[in-house]
Amino acid sequence: MAEKRVFCEHCLDDVTYHVEEREFTRKLKGKNYTFKGREALCDNCNRPVFVEEIDNANRTALYASFKKENDIISIAEIKAILKKYNIGAKPLSELLGWGINTVPRYLKGDIPKADYSAKLRRIAAEPDYFLSLLKDASDILKPIAYEKSMRAAEEAIKAGGVDKESLAADYLLSKNNEITPLALQKLLYYVQGFFYAFTGEFMFESDCESWVHGPVYRDIYNKYQEFGRNPIVSEKSYDFSSYFTSQEMQLLDSIIKHLSVYNGKVLEKFTHEESPWLLARGDLREDEPSTNIIEKEMIADFFTKVKEKYNMLTVDDLSAYTKARFASLSF
């Protein structure tokens, strides 16, 4: 830190600076929001100096605080809608009767108003509602875009509006009744990572976020939050083979066999030492809340290397990795 110099408006010189943590209160859309941020101070005069990366981090924290208080849909959730219904940001805006650049602006960080956010959330949760809007907009969208999105919406309805990660969670929980919410999140993350390593494809479309205690799929978190630190009780059991390919089932079984035997805290230690979570969090402190996305590319890259490092030939070869990871932990 001491190496880097920035311009101080008071000293009228390039100066070194130090960074302190403090609480900020800033106004956004007419309301005050308090958040924990950092401030760079000139080493000579101790007055604030502008450091772009710190300013950006503070802004992110401010928006996170705003969104949390207003429970506004996140960029990640909007991206998930586009994927789920195979539709672009502009066509989605049109279909909703909004200005064509509305959704693209949200993707760049503009914050949706509460009623716009609620509408997007409803679309995410109710594929049949989306389909009805789509049909009403058949003359607005280009025929190819319309057909593509129609097929995706029908698929989503067939899956009962259930995401693959929800199905995977149900499957894992049906096989092991000792899984806590903390452990479940890690298991899903390893499902995503190792499935990619063996197939070059992701099982889940959703992105996970780099929370303090590791990677988190937000919808799953919300669903099982009530169990706290206790094992999740789930009665759901159905014919999973109609939802998963045999390759997917094999991977899920391997995760149960090799990873669900560890408790949530141990799995948290695993993920905390691995690059996807670390990279997504950047230079955040260990206890600093974050909803940063763990980009799929990071997961792909990391697990591909793990597979190579441990010479895994089949999805059942996870034990070399899990045993090495467990042995390396310090308690």
Q: How far apart are CA 161 and CA 78, in angstroms?
A: 16
8 lines the binding site for Zn ion (CB under 5 A): yes
Q: Does residue 267 interact with Zn ion by CB under 5 A? A: no
Contacts 24+ apart (CB under 8 A), 92-100: 94/137, 94/140, 94/141, 95/133, 95/134, 95/137, 95/140, 95/141, 96/133
Interface of this chain with Zn ion, residues 298 to 327, rule: CB under 5 A? none
Answer yes or no whether residue 10 interacts with Zn ion by CB under 5 A: yes
Residue number, nearest CB to Zn ion: 42
Read off the tokens for 263: 């408790």
> Minimum CB separation from Zn ion for residue 25, in Å?
24
Rounded least distance, CB 10 to Zn ion, Å: 4
H helices of the chain, in order, are 52-70, 75-84, 89-95, 102-107, 114-125, 127-136, 143-158, 164-175, 181-199, 218-224, 246-258, 264-272, 275-281, 296-309, 319-328
Contact of 307 with 198, CB cutoff 8 Å? yes
Residue closer to Zn ion by CB (options 20, 147) is: 20
- Residue 46 CB, nearest distance to Zn ion (Å)? 7
Stretch that binds Zn ion, among 4-12, 29-37, 91-99, 126-134 (CB under 5 A): 4-12
Report, in Å, the least distance between residue 47 CB and Zn ion.
5
CA-wise closest residue to 317 among 274, 257, 266, 275: 257
Told to check if 9 binds Zn ion by CB under 5 A, we report no
Interface positions, 13-52, toward Zn ion (CB under 5 A)? 42, 44-45
Q: Which stretch binds Zn ion (CB under 5 A): 3-11, 174-182, 202-210, 229-237?
A: 3-11
**CB 41, min distance to Zn ion, A:** 8
Binding mask 179-198 for Zn ion (x = CB under 5 A): --------------------
Q: Is 29 exposed, middle or buried (0-12, 13-18, 19+ CB in 10 A)?
A: exposed
- Does 100 help bind Zn ion (rule: CB under 5 A)? no
**Minimum CB distance to Zn ion smaller for 52 or for 239:** 52
Write down the residue that tokens 């391997």 correspond to.
254
Measure Cα distances from 100 to 74, 81, 119, 134, 245 in Å.
19, 16, 16, 15, 38
Q: How far is the CB of 82 from Zn ion (least distance, A)?
A: 46
Site size toward Zn ion, by CB under 5 A: 6
User: Residue numbers of the site for Zn ion (CB under 5 A)?
Assistant: 8, 10-11, 42, 44-45
